[in-house]
Structure 1
Amino acid sequence: MAEGSQAILSALDDARTQKYHFKAIVIAGMGFFTDAYDIFCITAVSRLIGRLYYYDPVTGKPGTFPNDIKNAVSGVALFGTLAGQLFFGWLGDKLGRKKVYGITLVTMVGCAIASGISFGSTAKSVIGTLCFFRFWLGFGIGGDYPLSAVIMSEYANQKTRGAFIAAVFAMQGTGILVAGIVAMMVSKAFLLAYPADAFSANHVLSTQPEGDFVWRIVLMFGAVPAALTYYWRLKMPETARFTALVQGDPKKAAADMAKVLETDLTVAESSAKVDPNSSYGLFSSEFMKRHGTHLLGTCTTWFLLDIAFYSLQLTQNDVYPASGLLDKASSMNAIEETFQLSKAMFLIALAATVPGYWFTVFLIDKIGRFMIQLGGFLMMSICMAILGFRYHDLRGEKCKGSATKDFCHGHTTLFAILYGLTFFFANFGPNSTTFIVPAEIFPARLRSTCHGISAAAGKAGAIIAAFVFQKYTQEDKKIKEVIIALSVVNMVGFLFTFLVPETNGRSLEELSGEDNDFGDIKVPETEMV
């Protein structure tokens, strides 16, 4: 790498942490907050939708989704996300991170609102339009994955790069938490406005108008945080690394970097051309030699992680009754069930999901990505193995009908603790690191594309979770086998982690092996740390 090129990139790596770094975290993080909210809020309201639109018209008893319909409602956004990750990841390397960033946000805002106004005169038509809009919602969400990760990695300094990217991803936990809060607040508001004794637990027609408002409001709220950050996304400058290493314009890169570092930078008028011999493509033998194993490692670990993570996340409304966190549906009306379900979702997120993300933020630059991912997979596997093999004991089934109620309660409490620990070590583990590492180890001109491919591999795992594993969690006798299988999946992820290098303490250019030639840049030493 030429001296001038080294200067501009070293300025980014060595820059002190300052206000703009935190601003970038908030801007990129709010997108991820919206992503998580939009994907997982469906968990809180899917049972409500099923009870409203699939009730028995003869008896008036609450209905449930047919398995294929339920899987479609929960999982269709994942298909859109996978497509969006591939498309926008590629587009981010072609047009630039900033240009594509606004498109994804507009897509999310529009489709979140459209999901809430899903229309139709029959259950089939309402669910059909809901699935249509959630697919395109997922498409916009998919673009946010590679772009948010890459923008943050290219803005960050070397010392705290892992923490900055992890902080962006930690907003996923906050999005899950808020999805539970919003669903709780909306359902509680309707319960207060329409007292519970006005509803019948079994006669769903009495809750039809009110319940219809509940799920629509919850889904549409996802447009709010995305809309609030749109202006600031448009104001973000293009990353200096993309401008210098991909576009070959160090003068503009220095100007953009000056805005980030709050300092003046000057560029010599010498030519700035990218060495064509170093510009190997994604499908070239040179890429496979340098990064083929890396891409295999990031894809397989993300794929395996998402099978386990989304199996747990999307099937919470089936697992909660087993853990004692949720009463049987027959004892509650549709809106009350939504409140109780979202409350359980909120408690798990607050106690286990969110802390896991922030443990990663604070420790990733101290102990490294590799150890966090390895330890996370191992602990997830152990927790899920205990949950699986002792499933019936932990549910307290052996003492049903006996007088030892406290003993039974203790078992279900342990079930909830182990279930929460699985989420904790997913987030203080591979759910965070699989997002971070692909944004660090690939060349700038392929970074967004490779991150998108890795993320899409993860969503392929999530689709398997939604359409294969979720089907079996609806059968009580199958939940045990599913949890044991997921424990094995985590152990396979543990093994594939050895394909992924440690990136802590190394610059992006060192990790990717980039060697482009640019003009000279003078960096004021007083502004460097």
Structure 2
Amino acid sequence: MAVEQQQQQLEVLKALDAAKTQWYHFTAIVVAGMGFFTDAYDLFCVSLVTKLLGRIYYAIDGSPSPGTLPPHVSSAVNGVAFVGTLSGQLFFGWLGDKLGRKKVYGITLMLMVLCSVGSGLSFGHTPASVMATLCFFRFWLGFGIGGDYPLSATIMSEYASKKTRGAFIAAVFAMQGFGILAGGLVSIVVSSSFRALFPAPPYEVDPARSTPPQADFVWRVIVMLGALPAALTYYWRAKMPETARYTALVANDAKKAAADMSKVLQVDLAEEEDVVVNENRPYGLFSGEFVRRHGRHLLGTSATWFLLDIAFYSQNLFQKDIFSAVGWIPAAATMSALDELHLIARAQTLIALCGTVPGYWFTVALIDAVGRFWIQLGGFFFMAAFMLGLAVPYHHWTGQGQGHQVGFVVLYGLTFFFANFGPNSTTFVVPAEIFPARLRATCHGVSAAAGKLGAIVGSFGFLYLAQNQDAGKTDHGYKAGIGVRNSLFILAGCNLLGMGFTLLVPESKGKSLEEMSGENQPVTGSGGEAAGNEGSYVGVLHCLLR
């Protein structure tokens, strides 16, 4: 009876693996992807408005330079969302495996919508109280964003067929690129509108009028608009059924799984007569069986995501300071507050348009042909190479009056391209494919949380290195020399380490989720390796040395 039930279960899963691409797949990409659109918009638009926040709330009367956020305030505004995201990834990943993906999916979206609006409505009579309120809402915003990582990845992996699974999961994550782009475009439009309505002289001409009172509305409008796309997709997210794989493998109801799949994917499937009972003894995340089967996989996915995010978030959050350091953006003292916001947004939008967004979609197009392993390995390699190309001849790029800033920006943009046509996409895809269904969201959440720990290290570490490191101080408190250069060397080293840990991650191209996780293999007391372990690239070293 157990064999018949397992075969019955496998028929449902085989149908999922062989299902043709349906319109619903594309709908699911958009609905799940809107969470990542909001994620990127909210996390990265704050890097655009922090300059404005400093000029509004921390300007000092009679000071020769515009106001800037104190380092500890800047760290808090950037870091508190990452702490919330890390917490949400762990909590909602665990909850998604316990209660089901569907039951908690809408909660994360509503948190994101409400806290985006709350961030823009941050109140207080003093700068400290406004920043404290902003940090409070950004923590809970991050908590909701964190939940979207394991749930969206797991849902998409469990809906897709094995031939297109990588592209579909990567497409969900690629919406993050559009979120970064939208943040820049919205900032350009809003700042341009307010500049036209409330023109202000440059700071060096009239410091008192260079930041008009209306600038306080600008950052609030930019932050709150991030809630709109997520709110528009809430209805469709609530209508999504539970994934058939969760229903069959975790809830042990193949009959309902078959019915759901037939309805959603328009696939005719014979109705199952019995409720499937999984005969395998379940093992937990902290069990020896999990360590034997997937311990090195979890180490690989967590370590690579950790190292990647140190570099990726350092680049994104502080690129405004890098652009100022190399002279691509003029000194703040030569511009009004809204002019500065406009120029920073324009620079970040150009980088997103030319490097960030294309990189995501190159991954979508090629991941199921080239494979996750080679895209990730190549991405880490080229990121390291371009960062070293920036760091070694750093003074060549930044020399005053030499005109080499364009070359710096081109190489800098290429690091973003290969981050996204590389580990920033694959570290999201792979954890949703190689772990068993009852631990899939949890393991993805652990891997993603390791990434956000890297983002925290990167954001605080870059801030430390970029300050008080050189004699040539810029107008905003960051140094143009040793700080940025040392940061680039360190980030290049992180990418080289990422290449090494990539060898622990198996290739999942063209394989079913059950084949990768060893879902249908009996649990043994020793050596019970999952089928996916055979794809581990520890063996690549042997091939290269032949």
Other structure's SS at 2:28 match: helix
Does structure 2 conserve the Cα–Cα contact (< 8 Å) formed by 1:243 and 1:252?
A: yes
Aligned to 1:483: 488
User: Which residue of 146, 149, 157 maps to 1:145?
Assistant: 149
2:289 is equivalent to residue 296 of structure 1: no
Between the aligned partners of 1:206 and 1:25, the Cα distance in structure 2 is 44
Alignment length, in residue pairs?
506
Instruction: For 1:28-427, list aligned pairs within 5 A.
Output: 28-59=32-63, 61-197=65-201, 203-204=207-208, 207-277=211-281, 279-395=282-398, 397=399, 400=400, 405=401, 408-409=402-403, 411-427=404-420
Is the CA contact 1:304–1:461 (under 8 Å) kept in the aligned structure 2?
Answer: yes
CA distance in 2, matches of 1:111, 1:275: 44
Q: 2:516 aligns with which of 511, 514, 523?
A: 511
Structure 2 partner of 1:463: 456
Say if 1:314 and 1:470, in contact at 8 Å, map to a contact too: no
**C-alpha separation in 2, matches of 1:259 and 1:451:** 28
Q: Is 2:433 the partner of 1:440?
A: yes
2:203/2:334 contact within 8 Å kept: no
Secondary structure of residue in 2 paired with 1:237: coil
- Residue 22 of structure 1 corresponds to 26
Whole-Å Cα distance in 1 between the matches of residues 461 and 238 of structure 2? 40
TM-score under structure 1 length normalisation: 0.93
Kindly state the Cα deviation for residue 206 of structure 1 after the two structures are TM-superposed. 5.3
What is the aligned partner in structure 2 of residue 522 from structure 1? none
- Whether the aligned pair in 2 keeps the contact of 1:245 and 1:516 (CA below 8 Å) is no
Cα distance in 2 between the residues matched to 1:232 and 1:509: 28
Is 1:4 paired with 2:4? no
The one-letter amino acid of 1:189's match is: S
TM-superposition CA deviations, 1:62-117 (whole Å, max 9, x none): 21111111111122100000000000000000111111110000100000000001
Residues 92 and 449, structure 1, Cα contact 8 Å, conserved in 2? yes
CA deviation after TM superposition for structure 1 residue 267, in Å: 2.7
**Per-residue deviation, 1:233:** 0.2
Work out whether residues 299 and 504 of structure 2, in 8 Å CA contact, stay in contact via their aligned partners in 1. yes
Q: What residue in structure 1 maps to residue 424 of structure 2?
A: 431
3-state DSSP of counterpart to 1:143: helix
Deviates more, 1:266-275 or 1:356-365: 266-275
Does structure 2 retain, via aligned residues, the 8 Å contact 1:202–1:333?
Answer: no
Work out whether residues 255 and 275 of structure 2, in 8 Å CA contact, stay in contact via their aligned partners in 1: no
Q: Is the 8 A contact 1:61 1:202 kept in 2?
A: no
**1:446-473 alpha-carbon deviations (Å, 9 max, x no partner):** 0000000000000000000111122322
Would the alpha carbon gap of residues 55 and 198 (structure 1) be closer, same or farther in structure 2, given more than 3 Å must change?
A: closer
More helix by share: 1
2:335 and 2:448 mapped to 1: Cα distance?
A: 39
1:453/1:330 Cα in 2 relative to 1: closer, same or farther (>3 Å)? same
| Pairwise CA distance, 1:61 | 5.0
Is 1:454 matched up with 2:447? yes
Deviation at 1:265, TM superposition (A): 2.6
Contact 1:32–1:144 (Cα < 8 Å) also in 2: yes
Unpaired runs of at least 5, structure 2: 467-477, 523-546
Q: 1:497 aligns with which of 502, 518, 521?
A: 502
Distance 2:236 2:205 in 1: 46
**Does 257-266 or 148-157 show the bigger shift?**
257-266
Once residues 196 and 202 of structure 1 are traced to their aligned partners in structure 2, the CA distance between those partners, rounded to angstroms, is 9
- Provide the rounded CA distance (Å) in 1 between the counterparts of 2:54 and 2:489: 28
Distance change in 2, residues 1:328/1:501 (3 Å): same
CA contact (8 A) 1:324 1:413 kept: no
In structure 2, how many angstroms separate the alpha carbons of the residues matched to 1:502 and 1:12? Answer: 20
Structure 1 contact 204–334 (Cα < 8 Å) conserved: no
1:288 corresponds to which letter in structure 2? V
Q: For residues 163-193 of structure 1, what are the alpha-carbon distances to aligned partners after superposition, in whole Å with 9 as ceiling and x for unaligned?
A: 0001000001110000000011000000011
> Is the Cα contact below 8 Å between 1:383 and 1:418 reproduced in 2?
yes
Query: CA distance change for structure 1 residues 24 and 204 in 2, over 3 Å: closer, same or farther?
Result: farther
Residues 266-313 of structure 1, C-alpha deviation per residue, up to 9 Å, x if partnerless?
Answer: 333234212251x11111100000000000000000000000001101
- RMSD between aligned alpha carbons? 1.5
Q: CA deviation at 1:208?
A: 4.2
Higher relative contact order (CA 8 A, sep 6+): 1
CA distance in 2, matches of 1:247, 1:312: 42
* 1:215-267 superposed Cα distances (whole Å, 9 cap, x missing partner): 00000011101100000000101100001000001111111111222133333
**For the Cα contact (< 8 Å) 1:62–1:202, is it kept in 2?**
no
Distance, in Å, in 2 between the alignment partners of 1:341 and 1:126 is: 23
Q: 1:289 to 1:348 in 2, by over 3 A?
A: same
Identity across the alignment (%) = 60
Deviation of 1:59 after TM superposition, in Å, equals 4.4
CA distance in 2, matches of 1:360, 1:320: 27
Provide the rounded CA distance (Å) in 2 between the counterparts of 1:468 and 1:4: 53
CA distance in 2, matches of 1:392, 1:186: 36
Q: CA deviation at 1:389?
A: 1.1
CA–CA separation in structure 2 for the residues paired with 1:72 and 1:413 = 32
Distance 2:456 2:388 in 1: 22
Which deviates more, 478-487 or 432-441? 478-487
The one-letter amino acid paired with 2:301 is: T
Is 2:78–2:459's contact at 8 Å kept on the other side of the alignment? yes
Structure 1: segments with no counterpart, 5+ residues: 518-529
